[in-house]
Every structure is written in C-alpha cells, then in structure tokens.
Amino acid sequence: MYDLAKELYPICRSITGNGVRETLAVVNKHIPLDISEVPTGTKVFDWVVPKEWNIKDAYIKDKSGNKIVDFKENNLHVVGYSQAVNDRLSLQELTPHLHTLPGKPDWVPYRTSYYDESWGFCLSHKQYLSLADDTYDVVIDSELSEGSLTLSEYVIPGETDREVLFSTHICHPSLANDNLSGIALLTYLAKELSVISTRYTYRFLFVPGTIGSISWLSLNENKAKNIDHGLVISCVGDEGGPTYKRSRRGNAPIDVAMEHVLRNSHLNGELEDFSPYGYDERQYCSPGFNLPVGLFERSKYGEYSEYHTSADDLSLISPQNLGESFQLVRSAIDILENNRKYLNLNGKCEPQLGRRGLYSAIGGDNEKANKQLAMLWILNQSDGNNSLLDIAVKANLSFSLVHETAVLLEEKGLIEEIEE
C-alpha cells in the first residue's frame, strides 16, 4: 500500500483532468476499474459538472530569471483550478494571489478554487517574507475547457446483490494521508476481496470529492437501494485515531460493527456521531438517500496540523499504520459477512454441552473459558431477535470468537441459521 501511495504521490490531481486519469491508470494495474467520463455541463442533481482543468507548467521567476516558485517541484504551489496567466507583476500586484501559512512558516498550503475563476500560488511563509520588492514573471500554463469528469468503480459480485459500498476521493494532488492512503487501502482491499467468495457484493468507488460522489449518485440512483452498508475511507495512513464517524442513521449495522471493531482493537479508537461536514458521507447521508455509510479515518480530517499542507507528505504515513487501518476495515467486513441470526433449537433450559464434548469440566485456560461463555451467550440469546453481533456486544466478547463458536454450535446441531 505504501509503495502504491509513493507511486501516486507526484501526480497532480484535481477534481477533473488528466491527473485523475493517470492515477486511475496506476490503480488499474492492480484491479480492473470501470472508468467513465461525465461531460462538462452535465446536470447532476443541483450541480453541473464543471469544465475540465489541466495544467502543464507554472512558476514565478524573479528579475534574475530564477524560478523561485515552481509547480514542477511541488504541485501544491498552484491553487487548484487556476486560470492561465502570463504576466509581469510587481510584488504588490502579485501578493493578493499568494497563499501562505504564517503559523507554519515552512509549509506550503493546499488551496483550490473550483467554482470561482481566479488564479494563485501557494508558498511557504518563510519564502514569502524573503521576496524582494521587485517585479516577477508569473506563468500558469493551464487550460480550463469543455471536457469531462472521470468516475471509476470496481464491483466484486457476491452471493447476493445486496451491496457494501467503499468510497474514497481521488482529487487531491501531492498529499499522502488525505487521499493517497485511502486510494491505496481500497485498492488492496478490493484486490483481497476479489479472490475470496463473499456473501455481499462489494462496490469500490474512486471518485473526485463532492462532485464525484454527487455525479455517481445522480447517474446511479437506482443502485443506491442495494447498499446495505458502506464506508468512506480517508486519512488512514497516519498514526492518529482510529476514528469512526457514524452514519446519519446512527445505529446502522455498519455503525455497530465499526464500534465493535474499534472497542476490540488495542488502538485507542474514537467514535463520533454523524455530522454533515467531512468527506463524501455528506452526500451518501443526505436526507434523500440516508444510506448507512460511515467515515473511517485515523486522525480526523482538519484536526491534524499537517492537514492540507505540504507536510502531509509520504513521511506522515507508514506501512504499519496503513496495515493497521486495513486490518480494522477487514475485521468490519468479517463481521458484515458473518453476522447472522440463529435459533437455539433447545430453547427450554440449556442443552447438555458435556455430552457433546463442548464442556471442559475442570479448569481450562482463559481462551477456553471465553469460548464457554460464548456458547452460553449464543444459546441464551438466539431467540430470533439477536444477531451474532448483538450477542458479541452484549457479552463483551470478540465477534470472531462468537462467530467461530456459533459455527461449532451449528455443526453440533444446537442452533440453526434463521433465513431473513
């Protein structure tokens, strides 16, 4: 995952344009994406697909002809969606177009202006303070023109057409945690799920933020009704969190599953209620859809200091953090896949576990004891109302133990799955 993020890091992405296409071409080497283009001007609910933006070069040259700010060195130097410029400007004229972070004088901020036609450069505050009161050659070789927005998805069919949705945005330029970590995690997750058989159908969306998910929902409105569970994935490579923000429903199975995963992790996870700002869960959880889609992150977006700055680079993310995040999401999938309701076939009093070799009469280690507890809990609670996840939560046991134990009890003929 880290290597994929590294490979994608230099590409200049935005909500449209060739950077997104180049990114998807790399992902496509791992999983077979279904890529589609939505033309500029297409109406998608209340929005209109904007012009496509592409950029070849951009720089500020000082009087001596030195490129002192150079897009080719770091694509954050140009405000996203900047119009073309080719001019000589005094420092005074240039300054309103310059963005810096006075509080973090060494970092370059990340800025965009998708829906306001303008242009600008981002640079470190330190460099800004060193600029001589002089004239500068300013060039942005960009094009904003009729084109299209690029959407992509990968669907792995399961036993049923009920779906689990995973979505990540692909519109940020050289930012590692906010964006590339999500692309990398979902690429490898899709790769892993593609070779196992699953109950659910899995849909992976790699789309530009906001306008991308809105476009997908607008063009695929009929598919939304199949989505039983979903996660937006972002900022999963740093060492913060993990954080789970609940879906708008608040108690959807994905919410219960993620809470269980975080509580059973050695990491000190944090749970948040839904709020209507963040990533694309804003769209999936808009009242007209109200899909059971939560947000999984490590550090919370906007709350870590490197967020939307040049410091969100490859050093902020690590293979270990990505691996941990992957495992947490994988555990949630295990829950969704294996969460069933069973019926205790001996509802009146406990069945005799001993005669079936299920009872270790004397002593037993801690794992055995927990397995014993899991048996008793499953038998007691399997009255048709409680799923294995409900039971794991109530019993304060791990879902995997409860699931394994249910499989054993089913083999022994003590419980029977309830078809829903």
Give the interface with a copy of itself as residue ranges (CB under 8 A): 44-48, 99, 111, 113, 115-116, 210, 213-214, 217-218, 221, 248, 275-277, 282-283, 285-290, 344, 346-352, 354-355, 361-362, 372-373, 376-377, 379-383, 395
Structure tokens at 338: 């294996």
Min dist. Cβ of residue 222 to a copy of itself (A): 12
CA neighbor of 253 nearest in space, from 378, 386, 374, 156: 386
β-strand partners of 271: 244
Min dist. Cβ of residue 33 to a copy of itself (A): 23
Q: Express the helix, strand and coil content of the chain in percent, nearest 5 each.
A: 35, 25, 40
Min dist. Cβ of residue 63 to a copy of itself (A): 29
CA neighbor of 216 nearest in space, from 131, 117, 293: 293
CB proximity list for 355: less than 8 A, separation 6 or greater: none
- The C-alpha R_g of the chain, in whole angstroms, comes to 26
Q: Residue 132 and residue 62: Cα distance in Å, rounded?
A: 9
Q: Residue 177 and residue 313: Cα distance in Å, rounded?
A: 7
As to burial, measured by CB atoms within 10 angstroms (0-12 exposed, 13-18 middle, 19+ buried), residue 377 is buried
Q: Which residue's CB is nearer to a copy of itself, number 128 or number 377?
A: 377
CB proximity list for 187: less than 8 A, separation 6 or greater: 1, 4, 27, 30, 31
Q: Residue 123 and residue 361: Cα distance in Å, rounded?
A: 71
Min dist. Cβ of residue 31 to a copy of itself (A): 26
Q: Which residue's CB is nearer to a copy of itself, number 28 or number 372?
A: 372
Q: Which residue's CB is nearer to a copy of itself, number 185 or number 414?
A: 414
Q: Which residue's CB is nearer to a copy of itself, number 17 or number 209?
A: 209
Pairing assessment for the beta strands 341-344 and 415-417 based on DSSP bridges: antiparallel
Q: Which residue's CB is nearer to a copy of itself, number 32 or number 276?
A: 276
Q: Residue 157 and residue 221: Cα distance in Å, rounded?
A: 19
Q: Which residue's CB is nearer to a copy of itself, number 65 or number 363?
A: 363
Min dist. Cβ of residue 216 to a copy of itself (A): 10
Q: Which residue's CB is nearer to a copy of itself, number 185 or number 391?
A: 391
Residue 70 phi/psi, 5° resolution? -135, 115
Min dist. Cβ of residue 42 to a copy of itself (A): 14
CA neighbor of 22 nearest in space, from 62, 54, 60: 54
For 362-369, which contacts have Cβ atoms below 8 Å and span 24 or more sequence positions? none
Q: Which residue's CB is nearer to a copy of itself, number 6 or number 249?
A: 249
Q: Which residue's CB is nearer to a copy of itself, number 314 or number 353?
A: 353
Q: Residue 245 and residue 264: Cα distance in Å, rounded?
A: 17
Min dist. Cβ of residue 101 to a copy of itself (A): 12
Q: Which residue's CB is nearer to a copy of itself, number 108 or number 332?
A: 108
Q: What is the DSSP letter of 300?
A: P
Min dist. Cβ of residue 387 to a copy of itself (A): 15
Min dist. Cβ of residue 192 to a copy of itself (A): 31
Neighbours of 305 (CB within 10 A): 12
Min dist. Cβ of residue 16 to a copy of itself (A): 16
